[in-house]
Amino acid sequence: MFVLTMDQRGSRKDQDRVPALLDSLRAVPALLPFERSVGDEVQGVLTDADAVVDVVLDVLRRGGWYIGIGAGTVQEPLPRSPREAGGPAFVAARKAVERAKKLGERVPLCVRPDPASGSEAAAHAAAAEAVLALLGRLVRNRTDAEWRVLDLLQPGARGQQVEVAARLGVSPQAVSKAVFRSGWQEEQGGRAAAAILLKLADE
């Protein structure tokens, strides 16, 4: 399982962004749905590594959050709320988000496995973190113009750039350049790699 703990950055000087984040996460397939845990912190439990990647990149795009991912087991029987749950994955997520707060200007995320899972799981978690950080840099550096294009694309669909160009009133060449500059194609492969590494860290 994967516990995601996300803490708002600079919450004392900013508005409470928890409600907006929770609203955006409502459709995520979670074992224990995301909710406010303490203060300006959000927590949820997922079983799908691809969904974890989706959430992480969406939150990094929003900006303003420290992200900790804990991979491992959760105490059973499961309660109805993450606030009432516990287990190694929760411990790992707490350590991960605290580590993310110390990364300075780097992408503020960290992945930690069950503390008792051994060196192989730790290596996979570190590799997953590295891939997610690279993807996070792509996401954070994109322009609004690039996002207008990317938000209309679907991975694996053929011939869609011409359609996107028509919808935006720009040339297909402009769409192609935006896709290239954004690293969108590389992102798709990176997402798959990150999900595989997260699964290995969990195993």
Query: What share of the chain has pLDDT > 70, as a percent?
Result: 100
Average pLDDT, the chain: 94
The predicted-structure confidence for 22-51, as pLDDT tens digits, reads as follows 999 999 999 999 999 888 999 999 999 999
DSSP notation for the chain: -EEEEEEETTGGGS---HHHHHHHTTTS--SEEEEE-STTEEEEEES-HHHHHHHHHHHHHH-SEEEEEEES---SS--SSGGG--SHHHHHHHHHHHHHTTSTTS--EEEEE-TTS-HHHHHHHHHHHHHHHHHHHHHHH--HHHHHHHTT--TT-SSHHHHHHHHHTS-HHHHHHHHHHHTHHHHHHHHHHHHHHHHHHH-
pTM of the model: 0.93
The number of domains in the chain is 1
Instruction: Check residue 48 and give its pLDDT.
Output: 97
- Domain extent, residue 101, equals 2-202
The predicted-structure confidence for 158-183, as pLDDT tens digits, reads as follows 788 999 999 999 999 999 999 999 99
Low-confidence ranges of the chain (pLDDT < 70): 11
